[in-house]
Amino acid sequence: MKLEGVEMQFEFATATRIVFGEGSFKRIGSLTAEMGSRAFVACGLDLKRGEAIREALFAVNMGSVLFSVQGEPTKELVSNGTEVARQTGCDVVIGLGGGSALDCGKAIAAMLTNSGELLDYLEVIGRGKPLTQWSAPFIAIPTTAGTGTEVTRNAVLGDSEYRIKVSLRSPLMLPRLALVDPELTYSLPPGITAGTGLDALTQLIEPFVCNQPNPITDAVCREGMRQAARSLRKAYDQGDDPSARQGMSLASLMGGLALANAKLGAVHGFASPIGGMFSAPHGAVCARLLPFVMETNQRALLTRLPDSEALMRYIEAATILTNRADASAEDGVAWVRELCDHFAIPPLSSYGLEQNDLKELVEKATQASSMQGNPIKLTPDELEETLSRAL
């Protein structure tokens, strides 16, 4: 794609409808009633909110089934949930929680309307067949501000046998409704606020500097980075600040819009195999890797592609994050690193990673789809050095 030439081609797809704002969660009953008669509710840790949804659905004469999603979703959990949803006659799916609950619900909605088994459609470990039918109506209600999965077209699932994370991916999986209520994030503890918030920031920086940007995602990323720069530290320090929580919910939503329509990069290229091999929260892994990957990319660009647009974009991102017109690309790295220090982001070694794991991780990361969007192809030595510094 050429932003200043004639070769401009891109797509932009997102949830059919986005409802954003304080108190919007209270509308769940009437909004769901427009889509079906019985709801399958995939709920994360907060079962009390799951019960609140059931009460709201009962008030509009809808039946419901509550399904608990504890931890990251697996293919077994999705298959089990799909069977429960079918047996109980559910025709609409609601995902409530962090990225795990939303991805689980999204995958169940897809399997409700597509024949065969989950492995028919999974990447890498499955047969990789394309979905042929639209998912059952899916409503995504995030309770964290990080993944942006409420507006994406894939669900990430774990597989313990292969120690890997894989995606169920299709445009037919886009949610029917993304219901984003910042009030649901007020009770997030500081550690989760930090990890998910830096994941959101990563999902704004990586699509902005990736090798396949487009004008719409560029605009979304610029505003999302402004919101994150203004809000993230305050949301961590003052968790009940409405403005900060709203800003981070918006930044997370924008990150989801961006990654679903542009590319990611080395942070997510690493995060996928790390999450498959170790019990490590995705957001915390991205948070730890972000400044090191930014620094490695910038060094590689300066050495091999000093006139690249990506390097100029790193400079622009730095001006947004630091709110300084004269900021350099290095200033952007320093800003992110200082934020990680303030949040006490743990090193990768705290999840069991050791030096002798790095070559295997590099090998897997180079095959990850996210790595293909990195603004410059990094060498195995550069990738291993980046991981080593993050240990």
What is the overall mean pLDDT for the chain?
94
Please give the residue range of the domain that contains residue 63.
17-185
- State how many domains the chain has: 2
Give domain status of residue 233, yes or no.
yes
The CATH number of whichever domain residue 340 belongs to comes to 1.20.1090.10
Question: 133 and 45 share a domain?
Answer: yes
Of 139, 168, 185, which residue is a domain's last? 185
Taking the C-alpha atoms of residue 108 and residue 88, their distance in angstroms, rounded to an integer, is: 13
Q: How does residue 71 score in pLDDT terms, banded at 50, 70 and 90?
A: confident
Phi, psi of 93 (to 5 degrees): -120, 135
Domain of 173: which CATH number?
Answer: 3.40.50.1970
| 108, 137 Cβ separation under 8 angstroms | no
Each residue's pLDDT tens digit, 281-330: 899 999 999 999 999 999 999 999 999 999 999 999 999 999 999 999 99
Regarding whether 238 and 165 lie in a shared domain, the answer is: no
Q: Which residues pair with 157 in a beta bridge?
A: 166
**pLDDT number for residue 7:** 64
- 53 and 197, same domain (yes or no): no
Same domain for 224 and 273: yes
Assessment of whether the complete model's pTM goes beyond 0.85 = yes
Let me know whether 162 and 200 are in one domain.
Answer: no
> What phi and psi values does residue 42 have, to the nearest 5 degrees?
-85, 110
pLDDT in tens, 336-386: 999 999 999 999 999 999 999 999 999 999 988 899 999 999 999 999 999
Burial class (CB in 10 A: 0-12, 13-18, 19+), 330: middle
Residues 93, 199 within the same domain: no
Q: Single out the residue of 342, 347, 145, 142 nearest to residue 237, CA to CA.
A: 342
The answer to whether residue 4 scores a pLDDT higher than 80 is no
Q: What number is the average pLDDT over the span 43-62?
A: 93
Provide mean pLDDT across the span 121-140: 92
Pair 195, 335 in one domain: yes
Tokens of 261: 């329509």
